[in-house]
Amino acid sequence: MANSDSGASSNNYSFKVVLLGEGCVGKTSVVLRYVEDKFNERHLTTLQASFLNKKLNIAGRRINLAIWDTAGQERFHALGPIYYRMSNGAILVYDITDEDSFQKVKNWVKELKKMLGSDICLVIAGNKIDLEKQRNVPIEEAEEYAKTVGAKHFQTSAKLNKGIEEMFLDLSQRMIERAQENDLQKASELGRSSSMRRNVVVVDDEQAAETSTSKLTCCGSTT
Ligand code: GDP
Ligand code: MG
C-alpha cells in the first residue's frame, strides 16, 4: 500500500504513517483528533480499524495517509516490525508529564533506524501540553534529542487540538520530498545502468577491434 502511487511524476501520493509510543501517552487521541476531530477523556482501548485514512491536499498534490494506530499491544511489548514495516513516516509520541515515556521514544527511534534505516521520516510529539504545569520532560532536551536523530519535534495537545494539524502537514511535506528524492535517485540509477550497458558494448567493440588489429599485425608480420 505504501508508496503504491507515489512519485514525482504523479500528483497522487499514498503514505503509511505509524504511531508509536508508550501506552496512555495519547496516540489514539491524536489520531482521532486529526481524522475525526474528536476527543475522549477515557483511555480508548480498542480501535475498530487498524488504520484510519486521511486525505489532504498540499499545493495541488493529493495525499492519502493511512494512519496506523496500535490496538494497545505496546503495553505487552508486543509491537513487532510487522506493524511498522513499509512505513513512510512514524510519529513517536510521549507524554510531557511522563519522563519514562520520553525514554521509550528513544528506544523506538533506535529500533526504527536499525530496521528501516533512514528511509523513514520521523516526528517526535510531546503530547498533553495542556498539562504544562506537570511537565517532566524539558522542552530543550526533547528538541535537542530530536535534532540529533533527524526528527522534527512538535508539541501537541489532543485535548485542546494544538499542534496536530501542523505536525501531520509537516510530516506529509517531508514524505513527499523523500518520495521525490527516491524517484530521482531511481531515475539516475536507471540512467547509470543503461550507460553501463553502453560501456560494456563499447568495451566489447574495442576488444573486437584490438583482436582484429593484432590479428592483422600478426598476419601482417607473418606474411
Ligand atoms: P494511547 O494509549 O497512547 O493510545 O493513549 P490514549 O489516546 O488512549 O489516551 C490516554 C489518556 O490520555 C486518555 O485518558 C486521554 O483522554 C488522555 N489524553 C490524550 N491526549 C491528551 C491530551 O492532549 N491532554 C490531556 N490532558 N489528556 C490527554
Ligand atoms: Mg491507543
Match 504513517 to its residue by C-alpha cell. Answer: 17
* Residue with CA at minimum distance from ligand 1 atom 2: 24
One CATH from 3.40.50.970, 3.40.1130.10, 3.40.50.300, 3.20.20.100 for 12-182: 3.40.50.300
pLDDT at 45: 63
Looking from the CA of residue 21, the nearest atom of ligand 1 is 3
- What span, in angstroms and rounded, lies between the C-alpha atoms of 197 and 193? 6
Q: Is the CB of 70 under 6 A from ligand 1?
A: no
Domain coordinates in residue numbering, the chain: 12-182
Average pLDDT per block of 10 residues along the chain, 223 residues long: 49 96 94 94 67 94 95 73 92 98 97 91 98 98 98 98 98 96 88 63 49 42 39
Burial class of 106 by CB neighbour count within 10 A (0 to 12, 13 to 18, 19+): middle
